[in-house]
Amino acid sequence: MKEILKKIPKIELHCHLDGSIRPETMYELLLKEGEKLEVKDIKEFEKLVSVREECDSLKEYLKKFSYPLKVVQRGENIERITYELLEDLSKQNVKYVEIRFAPFLSMEKGLSFDEVVSSVLKGMDRAKEEFNILSNAILICMRYDSGENSLKVVEYGEKYLGKGVVAVDLAGNEHDFPPEIHKEAFQLAYEKGYNITIHAGETGIVENIPKSVELLHAKRIGHGIAAIKDPKVMELLKEKNIFLEMCPISNLQTKSVDSIEDYPIRTYLEEGIGVTINTDNTTVSNTTLDKEYEFLMDNLGFSIEDIIKLIDNSVEAAFLPQSEKEYLRKIIKEELSIYKL
């Protein structure tokens, strides 16, 4: 790993809590629940919960979430994994994070919506005190869920708006569930003042990008790889200043692109589209922000100056008031100056 990447201050905007649980913690919690695991040690378990070369689609990738799902059913676990994720990120000099999670996925064994959300917020508060890392939460509606459940996420989440929750998202299997199923929920979210980001164009369906912007009011798009297929869609992103939350390693694993040479990031940047770089799922994708940036440097010829520009895009795209963005810019600039960057 390039030392400079470890040192520079970073921002993470697209990180799923359930996909980013420390494997050791997940293993411990599963055994505590009496789960029978067909692995002999943590090394084998790590392989079980992260994708390898064999992954051939997003659907395949999403199968890895069956283990995390079992451990996010208790408030104390949720608080702990949030806190630990932030601890890990702070060690990588990440200054600000937006953590996303689907409250309904944690309500399968009796937790209430409020218990789930407040557990995440407690973990975030504790991490802020101990590691001085800033964070906010994004509530996820799942694509396969009914529009009614998505409405509930928006309604129940309203009281946390500005108190740790900043946005709503739509995630899950994009192939079978188009954005319009959730139109009403995102209309309500828009009216209530949520920021909106939508996973769209992750695995080829380019129409989902304009649908997410025009029908669901997305200000940011998760992935957006398929935009490259249609100049009109690229123009829309540029014109409306919609930032893309790209996650290169995850995108290769889900076969959003066939090879790194086809990764459209350079074209997007040349066209003036706002790109940010993120991990998606640190455990499932076996990645870190440092690895993502190193990947761009090693494979696509990005310089450290290019990386710093991408980090500045993340500040700009963050769901934060202007004053907090300025604060982040200031502390990032100060730290970069130590390294003459």
Q: Does 245 contact Zn ion by CB under 5 A? A: no
Task: By CB under 5 A, name the one of 280, 302, 311, 313 that touches Zn ion.
Answer: 280
Q: Does 243 contact ligand 2ND by CB under 6 A? A: no
Q: How many residues bind to ligand 2ND according to rule CB under 6 A?
A: 17
Q: Does 140 contact ligand 2ND by CB under 6 A? A: yes
Residue with tokens 């995440």: 120
Going by C-alpha positions, the residue among 133, 131, 129, 62 that lies closest to residue 102 is 62
CA 127 to CA 149: how far, in whole Å? 30
Instruction: List the single partner that 18 binds among Zn ion, ligand 2ND, none, CB under 5 to 8 Å by kind.
Output: ligand 2ND
Task: Name the one range near Zn ion by CB under 5 A: 47-55, 113-121, 172-180, 278-286.
Answer: 278-286
202 is a catalytic site residue: yes
Q: Does 281 contact ligand 2ND by CB under 6 A? A: yes
Q: Tell me, residue by residue from 45 to 64, as one string, x for binding to ligand 2ND by CB under 6 A and - for no binding.
A: -------------x---x--
Q: How far is the CB of 250 from Zn ion (least distance, A)?
A: 7
DSSP 228: G
Q: Does 19 contact ligand 2ND by CB under 6 A? A: yes
Q: Which helix (H) or strand (E) holds 66?
A: helix 66-71
Q: How far is the CB of 171 from ligand 2ND (least distance, A)?
A: 4
> Which amino acid type is present at position 123?
G
Q: Mention every residue, 6+ apart, whose C-beta is less than 8 A from residue 50.
A: 23, 64, 283, 284, 285, 286
Going by C-alpha positions, the residue among 231, 207, 212, 233 that lies closest to residue 222 is 212
- C-alpha distances in Å from residue 10, one per residue of 121, 161, 216, 282, 326: 21, 24, 29, 15, 15
CA 301 to CA 297: how far, in whole Å? 5
Q: Does 96 contact ligand 2ND by CB under 6 A? A: no
In the bound state with ligand 2ND, the residue whose beta carbon lies nearer, of 2 and 59, is: 59
Instruction: List the single partner that 273 binds among Zn ion, ligand 2ND, none, CB under 5 to 8 Å by kind.
Output: none
Q: Does 12 contact Zn ion by CB under 5 A? A: no
What's the token pair of residue 3?
């030392």
Report whether 223 belongs to an annotated binding site.
Answer: no
Task: By CB under 6 A, name the one of 67, 101, 113, 194 that touches ligand 2ND.
Answer: 101
Q: Does 18 contact Zn ion by CB under 5 A? A: no
Give the total residue count for the chain.
341
For residue 260, the number of C-alpha atoms closer than 13 Å in the C-beta half-sphere is 10
Exactly one of 12, 174, 202, 245 is catalytic; which is it? 202
- H helices of 132-247, in order, are 147-157, 183-192, 208-214, 231-239
Known catalytic residues?
202
Binding positions for Zn ion, rule: CB under 5 A: 280
Q: Which residue positions form the known binding site for Zn(2+)? A: 14, 16, 199, 280
